[in-house]
Amino acid sequence: MKRTFRGGLLIGLAVAVAVAAVAVTYEIYDTRTLKRTVRRGEVLCGVNKGLPGFSIPDDKGNWTGFDVDFCRAVAAAIFDDPAKAKFIPLDANERFKELQNRKVDILSRNSTWSLSRETDYDLYFPAVAYYDGQGFMLPRARNIDSALDLNGSKVCVQDGTTTILNLADYFRANNMKYEEKKFSRLDDVVKAYEAGQCDTLTADVSQLYALRLNFAKPGDHTILPDVISKEPLAPVVRERDDDWMLIVKWTLYAMINAEELGVTSKNIDAALKSKKPDVMRLVGTEGNYGEELGLTRDWAARIIRHVGNYGEVYDRNIGAESPLKIPRGLNQLWNAGGIQYAPPIR
Amino acid sequence: MTRMRHLICMAMAAAGLMLSASVSLAQQPDEGDQPGLIADDTYQLDPEWQKQMVYYRTTEPPGTIIISTAERHLYLVQPGGRALRYGIGVGRDGFQWQGLLNITRKAEWPDWVPPPEMIQRQPYLPRFMAGGPGNPLGARAMYLGTTVYRIHGTNRPDTIGTKVSSGCFRLVNSDVMDLYDRVPVGTKVVVRQKPEL
């Protein structure tokens, strides 16, 4: 009798602890981002304060850019209205904390995906939006088209970054010599390069194109196709909110699949009449994939109509139609020379 | 002699243009062809269309030409995951095609004999035009299979990056000369179009 009583007490205690643990977990891990977003009526997007091509506001507070358009795509998928995205500029050092603190629903802020960032902050990077990486810029007149021809070069580089380590690794791995010209400020790196103090300047490729824009004669400088480091830029969401994570992930994949299938903001109405199974599943005339995501059947059609496919967003903000004119390179589709590859919608 | 040839070209072009004026209402004008116009060698291409080495991942062997009609780029595959990329002008909508062909013939300063179907669409075009700077085929031509299509130069560098031709691929003369020296007869040419809905 006594024994049973004690046993019951133990079981009761165990149940209480379990319930408490579930409650605490529930508190820590937010699993209701979609519900809150829908109730609020807008997606809160953490973005860079000002990075041309990726996210930058004009004098009237209108945001444009590749990262900005991605957030608009998520808003379009949920609300059928790309304007239902609110942009909240965040500093590099506060961005992950602010996402954890639920100040934003998504970070779409040129953030490199790495293991420690996912584990240290309990965050999740759903898919790579833009493959960046370290490259080299040099005067076109030097007529070099491979980084392997840079042996013996004087290299301008910013000190105190991973850039300088990647540089050392690359030259060592290829048995090449170089002379480092390092500066703590990026401005000084550029000035030294412009003054001819070095043969080449190294930084992330997207940054090289942005820097080149400010030169007196941008056309006199070329950026090599070689990429010597991995900087996969991805949107970020909180861990353990799988429903929300899937929406963010498949928004990007819908845009990439749309480009692969030739569906654009201009031909979306024709696409809705298409009899091609891949196209029908994408635009929602076949299957209920959108509903499975917690959205509507036409979720992807909304994205494409309001924001465009991956290639359209790329070209408009950082590619051929933008001042940056960054070649697609790694970010070209997998079947057209690059590595952008989205799992199929089916 | 060359001068004489130019004069003949100009005369033919002038006749062509006069004819074109009279039929232009009935006929869709072809912005891309301007026989007789001497190419402006100082024309500066937009960086997007300038020849450059780019990252390019493919299973096709080096030396293969891959043409992306949608991008308006011609890639010459190089070893090591890269390609030489040239800006091109491509066919108008409805005049685009895709498939695998080989280069069957190469010619310097080719003569131009517009094919019958082109004459039918654009009767104002000359029936024959000798090769030279005013020739719309430009400095070089590479013939694709047994088709009427070619990779060729142009006297209209401003049409690079546009959709104007009757299905040919045009490069600026300096680029087509560069490409010509890099590819032998027999080179595999893969033409890709954007997917259909």
- Whether residue B90 is contained in a domain is answered as yes
| Residue type present at position A333 | L
- Whether residue B88 is contained in a domain is answered as yes
Burial class from Cβ neighbours inside 10 Å (0-12, 13-18, 19+) for residue A156 reads: buried
Identify all chain A residues contacting B195, using CB atoms and an 8 Å cutoff: 260-262
- Whether residue B145 is contained in a domain is answered as yes
Q: Which of B48, B194, B197 lies nearest to residue A325, judging by beta carbons?
A: B48
DSSP string, A186-199: HHHHHHHHHTTSSS
The Cα of A224 is separated from the nearest Cα of chain B by a number of Å equal to 7
Residues B23 and A165: their CA atoms lie apart, in Å, by 67
Q: B197, A267: Cβ pair inside 8 Å?
A: yes
> Chain B within 8 Å of A330 (Cβ-Cβ)?
yes
Is residue B152 annotated as part of the catalytic site, yes or no?
A: yes
Residues B127 and B139: their CA atoms lie apart, in Å, by 19
Q: For A282, how many CA atoms within 13 A lie in the half-sphere containing its CB?
A: 34
- Whether residue B197 is contained in a domain is answered as no
Averaged over B48-67, what is the pLDDT? 94
ipTM of the complex: 0.82
- Whether residue B12 is contained in a domain is answered as no
The Cα of B197 is separated from the nearest Cα of chain A by a number of Å equal to 6
The Cα of B176 is separated from the nearest Cα of chain A by a number of Å equal to 19
Q: B197, A339: Cβ pair inside 8 Å?
A: no
- Whether residue B121 is contained in a domain is answered as yes
Averaged over A92-103, what is the pLDDT? 94
Residues A270 and B197: their CA atoms lie apart, in Å, by 8
Structure confidence at residue B23 (pLDDT): 32
pLDDT band at B28 (very low <50, low <70, confident <90, very high): very low
Q: How many domains does chain B have?
A: 1
* CATH number where B54 lies: 2.40.440.10
Least confident of A9-23, A249-263, A284-298, B106-120: A9-23
* DSSP three-state, residue A239: coil
More confident residue, A26 or A139: A139
Under 8 Å between Cβ of A262 and A268: no
Question: In sequence order, what are the beta bridge partners of A51?
Answer: A55
Q: Which of B55, B66, B197 lies nearest to residue A274, judging by beta carbons?
A: B197
Nearest chain B residue to A148 by CA distance is B80
- Whether residue B167 is contained in a domain is answered as yes
Nearest chain A residue to B45 by CA distance is A219
Nearest chain B residue to A219 by CA distance is B47
Q: A262, B57: Cβ pair inside 8 Å?
A: no
- Whether residue B4 is contained in a domain is answered as no
Structure confidence at residue B97 (pLDDT): 84
> Chain B within 8 Å of A225 (Cβ-Cβ)?
yes
